[in-house]
Structure 1
Amino acid sequence: MKPHGWLGLAIILGAEAALFGGQPLVAHWFTPIVWTGYVLFVDALAARLTGRSYLTTDRVEGVLLALTSIACWWLFELYNSPRFWRGGTQSAGLWWHYHGLEPNPFLRRVGYDWAFATIFPALFLTATVLRTTVFRRMFVRPAHRLSREVHHLLVAAGVLAAALPLVLVSAWLVPLVWVAFALLLEPLNSRAGRPSWLADL
């Protein structure tokens, strides 16, 4: 395994030990620290298994993915507080809340962006590792294409699911947030011939 993988594993174990030991600085920044360690570790695994990874070969793609991750998770934060500008309870969050945040707004923003930047790389790298290990022998059925009408219907449902929680603010609409973009984007992948779960239905 590449050296940065061992570094990532050391970061995870060290952060866990520091957290249980009551180290306040690590506890304050625990999420981005551990996610960073995990990204380093799983990136090294992906590099060993496939010969490619964001930190060894596909660095530009890795940077773009991290920036996309930040943007997308700020979008989800908007869904969590769709009327944040009103302050008070309107900015507290409908579905999830943060505790023990950095009081300095600049450092708090750094912490947010740092944590958000690790999410998509971690997910994509984990998928790569699982695809080449656990699911390596999984049978893949021949892909079939859904009709254009079905694709249009799914995209329309995705647009509605994405818009409704912003228009009608309710904690009961949280499931729509997590399915909206799958409905919206998967038909585009399918139509373009890219990997898509619609082809596996």
Structure 2
Amino acid sequence: MEKHHILAGLLLLVATLGFMSLKYLRAPRRSPLRLWGWMGLGIILGSELLLALPVYWVTVFFTPLAWTGYILLVDALVATLEGHSRLTRAPLQFLGLAFWSIPLWLIFEAYNLRLKNWAYVGVPVDEWIAIPGYAWAFATIWPAIFETSDLIRALGIFRSEARHAWTLSRLLRAIFLSVGVIFLIVPLVVPEARARYLFGAVWVGFILLLDPLSYYWGERSLLRELEMGRASTLYSLLLAGWVCGIVWEFWNYWAASRWVYVFPIWQQSKLFEMPLPGFLGFPPFALECWVMYEFVRTARRQIFGSRQAARWEAVESQT
């Protein structure tokens, strides 16, 4: 059974990355691959090689190593297509994204303390090794999603979507927000045995709660994008979540320090370590990453004032 779920996972990985590679090879490019792209590719290939040998420190830190390489490579691919990327356009803002990735992901770790959907195995006992490893790995989550979404947009996969503008009433936004509150509270108050089945509510709860608030304050939000007839952000994030989810599970399966899923359904039907229904969570998780980060920026403007926030963003955007 294990061989079957590995083979199926590999086929899905090849199909996903093959589609992305084919789109890239057919796309017009403005420049050759930048140096950091080659560095990223080297980190990925080198980490894979040292993992296979195996070299202990690489097996322990394989996940953040591989994802650091991935982020550098994908950023450079975006630069070849667009002439610029997050690292060339706003390196400090990119570092800020990596910084915020840690506390934002820790919110989900806090939920997992009660819902117990995953656990970490093979993590070094020494905290001075484990904690930096966790922080490094968590710091790659948001950048990986955002860079992949950037690449999908640069490839023009969703540029031909219909320009239909959505009508989003105040009542509808209030309903979204209320449902988001319910989705985020219920898993914390129901009996723990039932809460373990409710992580899906957490995967969409922050979208429903925070995006209407960003909209209300006049800031960037998915609702505003849809209201203006721009669905490419939504679609590119959904696909980015799928791509990153497949790669996450592939690399995680071979790492010595990794996560395993312990939620009580479909444990006999997996791709790599992930039970099949879990893959449905990656696309909305990417939306959630975007919404949460935009809300952080919105909150900063609301707390410190738009002028001060604009100064910070101007500094972050300097190359």
Bucket of the pairwise TM-score, normalised by the shorter protein: 0.7 to 0.9
Paired residue for 2:208? 183
Correspondent of 2:122 among 75, 83, 100:
100
Partner-residue secondary structure (3-state), 1:141: coil
Does residue 129 in structure 1 map to residue 129 in structure 2?
no
Residues 123-160 of structure 1: per-residue CA shift (max 9 Å, x gap): 11100111121515422323223100110110111111
Task: Quote the RMSD (CA, aligned, Å).
Answer: 2.1
Which one of the candidate residues 17, 20, 33 is aligned to 2:65?
33
Q: Distance in 2 between matches of 1:37 and 1:167?
A: 40
Alpha-carbon distance in structure 1 between the residues aligned to 2:150 and 2:105: 21
> Could you tell me whether the CA contact under 8 Å between 2:187 and 2:198 is conserved in 1?
yes
C-alpha contact 1:162 1:177 (8 A) present in aligned 2: yes
Q: Is residue 2:93 matched to residue 1:61? A: yes
Report the equivalent of 1:142: 164
Distance 1:155 1:40 in 2: 36
Distance 2:167 2:125 in 1: 51
Aligned residues of 1:8 and 1:36 also touching (Cα < 8 A) = yes
Structure 1 residue 190, shift from structure 2 partner? 4.9
What corresponds to 1:114 in structure 2?
Answer: 136
Which sits farther off after the overlay, 13-22 or 120-129? Answer: 13-22
Q: Work out whether 1:43 is the aligned partner of 2:75.
A: yes
Does the C-alpha gap of structure 1 residues 95 and 7 become closer, same or farther in structure 2, counting only changes over 3 Å? Answer: same
Match of 2:178 in 1: 156
Residue 185 and residue 138 in structure 1: after superposition, are their counterparts in 2 closer, same or farther (change >3 A)? Answer: farther
Distance 1:136 1:176, change over 3 A: closer
Aligned length: 191
Q: Is the aligned partner of 1:10 residue 2:42?
A: yes
Structure 2 counterpart of 1:115, one-letter code = A
Q: Contact between 1:81 and 1:94, CA under 8 Å: does it hold in 2?
A: yes
Match of 1:196 in 2: 222
1:19 counterpart = 2:41: no
Structure 1 residue 15, shift from structure 2 partner:
0.8
Question: 5+ residue gaps in structure 2?
Answer: 1-32, 235-319
| Deviating more after overlay: 104-113 vs 30-39 | 104-113
Structure 1: which 5+ runs fail to align? Answer: 83-92
Q: 4+ residue stretches of structure 1 with deviation over 4 A?
A: none
User: Counterpart amino acid of 1:154?
Assistant: F
- Provide the C-alpha distance between the structure 2 equivalents of 1:12 and 1:77, rounded to a whole number of angstroms: 27
Deviates more, 1:112-121 or 1:14-23: 14-23
Deviation per CA, 1:90-139, whole angstroms, max 9, x where unpaired? xxx71111111021112211111101111111111100111121515422
Determine which of 189, 195, 199 is the counterpart of 1:174.
Answer: 199
More RCO (CA 8 Å, sep 6+): 2
Other structure's SS at 1:62 match:
helix
Instruction: Tell me which amino acid in the other structure corresponds to 1:50.
Output: E
Distance 1:73 1:155 in 2: 21
Letter of the 2:118 partner, please give it.
W
Percent identity over paired residues: 40
The answer on whether the counterparts of 1:189 and 1:196 sit within 8 Å (CA) in structure 2 is no
2:107 is matched with 75
Partner Cα distance (1:196, 1:166) in 2: 27
Deviations 1:152-186 (A, max 9, x none): 11011111111222233321111111011111133
